[in-house]
Amino acid sequence: MTVYLRSLETAVPPTVLIQAEARDVFAAQPGLTRLGSRLVNTCFDSAAIDTRHTAVDEMTMEFRADDPQFFDSATGLLLNPTTKVRNEIFAEQATKLFIESAQAALDACPDLTLRDITHVITVSCTGFFNPGPDYKLVRALGLDPAVQRYHLGFMGCYAAFPALRAAKAFCEADPQAVVLVVCAELCSLHVRTSNDPDTIMGSALFADGAAAAVVTARIAPDAPALLQLDHFETVLTPVGEESMAWNIGDHGFEMVLGNYVPHIIDDHIIGALEPLLSRDLSLHGLPYRDIRHWAIHPGGRSILDKVQTRLELTDQQLVPARETLRKFGNMSSATVLFVLKHILEQPPVDGDERICSMAFGPGLTVETGLFTKLRQAGGPVSDIEPGSVRSGERLPGRAAAPSRA
């Protein structure tokens, strides 16, 4: 049975961080060693990021809080709230992004009603609360209280793939199923000043955002699908368990992102693709060089560089990933869906177009997906960024122009 992605919408919080200005704030913190200060400048400048979004509105020079918890704009000091404080903000602010992106995804399917939704799958690794985001979506959107709900928590940057794979399985089991998949991450809640290289790298890369999709096997001639979900695979590399991890500390979640990760990906990326592409039986194995589009999770610039070199991809094939990184940073599980949306917004060519997508996470886990971009999915690429941005402030303080995909 063929299963389709009917809609894909994204959202980001309003506060925009300018990478160069954020770098200067982090580099000016007391307690940094000379080496730590050099690492801050190097990591921020080499990240290939211009802007990121954060749900922490006090991360602006203009914001004045009577009792700041993350950033004191009067003194320029980054503060260190407890995990409890960070998680309370997650429960409030992540819920907004879950709802906003989900509502947009549902609005993009006018032929479906709220009662058509049979399953809800939510994804996040940057906070916990219960009743969780799956429950909040049912209540806020007015879904059937009997809808089946699932939450994938703490899996990391690759978690959109298990969510889509589960959605596909539900639809294959029930041809009338309609699954709402929503990823929302508030990575910026866990940044902190430190001399630790992994912590500095995380502060230079991570950001906040959400993406939502409607998945179903139901066909609507007047509301065409965007993607055909062909196949998914999971591979664990033989090394790298200690190189990428996500732990809970007393003052937020602690990222382990070793500088050897790009080399592990470089060594094992072709092997990780083999299970995915060899399953395309209609083509008796699909050579990766025959794939037009590549939706690579931009875990960092060096990871994209290694993937591009090893797979011999063109600069054009890496534009969706690099542009997502440049405008939004690494939003963990939501990021690869931003990359897919960028590809969907490109003008169509003759015939259907294959997309190979992959993301990397703790383990080291490589999740891969093979999709077909349908001919009716494309449209002219506009200047609108692939995200829903309400008016807000930047660090240190100009208003971001509202935009919406």
Given a contact cutoff of 8 angstroms between Cβ atoms, the answer to whether 212 and 180 are in contact is: yes
Structure tokens at 43: 């990591």
Which distant-in-sequence residues (6+ apart) come within 8 Å of 176 by Cβ? 118, 218
Given a contact cutoff of 8 angstroms between Cβ atoms, the answer to whether 106 and 214 are in contact is: yes
d(CA 327, CA 48): 9
Which distant-in-sequence residues (6+ apart) come within 8 Å of 94 by Cβ? 55, 124, 126, 127, 133, 184, 185, 186, 210
The residue among 265, 369, 330 whose CA lies nearest residue 125 is 330
Which distant-in-sequence residues (6+ apart) come within 8 Å of 209 by Cβ? 10, 11, 12, 13, 53, 97, 184, 185, 328, 331, 334, 335, 338, 387
CA dihedral 388, 389, 390, 395 (to 10 degrees): 160
Q: Which of 43, 109, 125, 157 is catalytic?
A: 157
Given a contact cutoff of 8 angstroms between Cβ atoms, the answer to whether 372 and 354 are in contact is: yes
Active site residue 356: no
d(CA 210, CA 198): 24
d(CA 61, CA 117): 43
Annotated catalytic residues are 157
